[in-house]
Structure 1
Amino acid sequence: MAMLPLLPMLLAGFVLVSVGVGLWLLPWMVTGTLRWADAERGRAAALLGEPHEPRRPAVPEGLVERWRWVATHREVRRVLRWVPRFLGGGMALGLFGVLCVGGMLGTVVTMVGWPLLPDDASMLGIRVGNWGLALVLGVAQFALLAALTRWVLPGFVRWQARDSLTALTPSAEERLAERVDELTESRADVLDAHGAELRRIERDLHDGTQARLVAIAMRLGVARDELPEDSGALGRLLAEAQEGAEDAMTELREVIRSMYPPILADRGLEGALTSVAAGSAVETDLELGDLGRLPAAVEAAAYFVVTEALTNVAKHSGAELARVRLARKEDRLVAEVWDGGVGGVDEGGGSGVVGIRRRVAALDGTVTVTSPAGGPTVVRAELPCGS
């Protein structure tokens, strides 16, 4: 009975939407309903002696986001389905309890005051005509109502508690879906942290380790220049050391480029891809949509997909034209590379597609390759970029 005011409140919120006030009010009323339902679930669990973990879904900020949350969140739908069941059962139980208690009071009044009542006063369907019959019928009816109140009514209460727990507790499939949603929501933060770490490592390697290797190579070169021409073994050792330092710099640059290309930090993804398209060995048309803010790890993966795919086009396809398209579709970045070459891509034959798949799969993305014999070839990668 405690939730009887809730249904009119919700209905009022829906009605007020038509005049604009409910647009702000209704999401808060739904939030209050969720908290109330969780309290009822706690009481039901305590009555049945079962553990209870509070469920307080995080409510997003902003009116539009809050309305989207009300319309799509599983917990909201579950609670709103439960409210009519709980109200109906609560009203029936309340009426049953009132009838039992009121019936016991009425029995006592009838039993002791039957001479003052109309001639048709009765108990258990039997007309009361004398004191003996009044006492027997009164005790029997009172005992019956007391038994209903003592044993039957608690059974109904426990049944309603069990029904509430069943209705409000998510199933194993729903818990799994909620966990997936939580991981999806947190993925953007993870990607941002990963991107920040990539930038830090790239900066440390570029400004620290690489600079030291350059200095070492230069000093070795100066040392070689200071040696006489007939320095023999010492000259050869210095030459080998200088070549080793230069090789190490080359390998380090490749590591930095594969991890987080410096051009991304300098120009961003759009500028970097524009440079790649301009420098491609095959004429390349570049189409970039509104990409918005992307995590650094997603930018690096998209850059790798495009550069590797264009390298494959130049090496294997024989195409004269390639097209690169990047677009953002809600929480996914779509990178697509098309070429009009001979097709028939062999993923196991050094085409680079395996590397693309690995790079994209590391971010829980997908890659599809369409390459019939005779072409064209389309490499399409979808990367999650936040929720």
Structure 2
Amino acid sequence: MSDESSSGLARVPRALRFCAVGVGLGVASMALLPVLLLLAALCLLGVGLFLLPVGLRVLARLADVARRETDRFTGRPTPEVPRAAGQRLAESLGDPVTWRDLRWLPTSMVAGTTLGVLGLGVAVTPLVALVATGFWWVFPEDEPMRMLAGQPVDSWGSAGLLGGTTLVLAVVLAVVVPVAAASLLGWINRVLLHPGERERLAARVDTLRATRSGAVSAHDAELRRIERDLHDGTQARLVSIAMHLGLAERRLGDDPQAVGELVAKARAGAEDAMVELREVLRQMYPPILSDRGLPGALASVASDCAVPTELSVGELGEVPDPVEAAVYFVVVEALTNAAKHSGASLVTVAVSRQGRSLRAEIRDDGAGGVVEGAGTGIVGMRRRVEALDGRLRIDSPLGGPTTVLVDCPCEW
């Protein structure tokens, strides 16, 4: 069997599942549409102003399920424009996503139910044809069972010929029709539920504006940190070296032994200054990345972590330096948080190449409950990742586990 045939047959179970989802969402739409119409009418009495937002949130849940299942069936996820954060009716009605949901609702009621039932119904026709062929003799002789353009089935020979032909046709239809029905339903859902090109571009501009602002803030914070480190550490060391050398110069002719001690202190200060300067540079771009690459650098970090850490690194290919640095710092920060705050007994780190993106997942079995902005460094992690057009997701319910997932594009 060819690869195309295999992939076509592999789509049938997914198509049947999507048809079943379409039927379920269609029935739910039948129930929800009159409720929303009633709540809209009650807005004239004032009661609907408080109840309609609840109905719209239920609609949003259904529409989100349809989006997710459509993306899963088609295999072509589309970036969604975020919903309005408000809970009031005016904010919901001012959100373009709500209006897409509303235009999808009656279509789901009709198209979802019809196409879903069609796909599922045709899928069982081979079984119906097989059962009918085996029980042709149940029909009376004067009114025999008929197949294929009304041809009568009155013997086992005709049952085998007509029934076999019908079964073959039913199998072909059971393969083709559900996939076609599901594909049409998926196309309808994408047209109605997914944002248009202009809306996606507007959302993209808003995202780029926010990430640019975050990148500028992160850059300013990084410059201030470097300036503080150099001023409080390296600069103080250099001042101390200058003072010792100045004193040594004054005592050069009077007390050679004291000059030797002062020069030794200056040399020690110079060594300390080089160590501190090296540490500042290491935080800008860790030399270990240049020396060992990302896999070796992560292996070193994992081995030094206070919590037992399991590291898995796949074939990464060519990764830009900024992406390597961002993923490295996220892993370091996540491991530091796990060691300090989570009480975890095990951390797993998985880094892999997913198409054009580099993905890292850090998971610990600790207490969870991580709150962004509570001094855990997540804000800095997010800014560093989003500055590269990447995404950072934190899942940390109370009781754990905590999962940090970062995706950074490797091509711009």
TM-score, normalised to structure 1's length?
0.42
Bigger Rg, structure 1 or 2: 1
TM-score, normalised to structure 2's length?
0.39
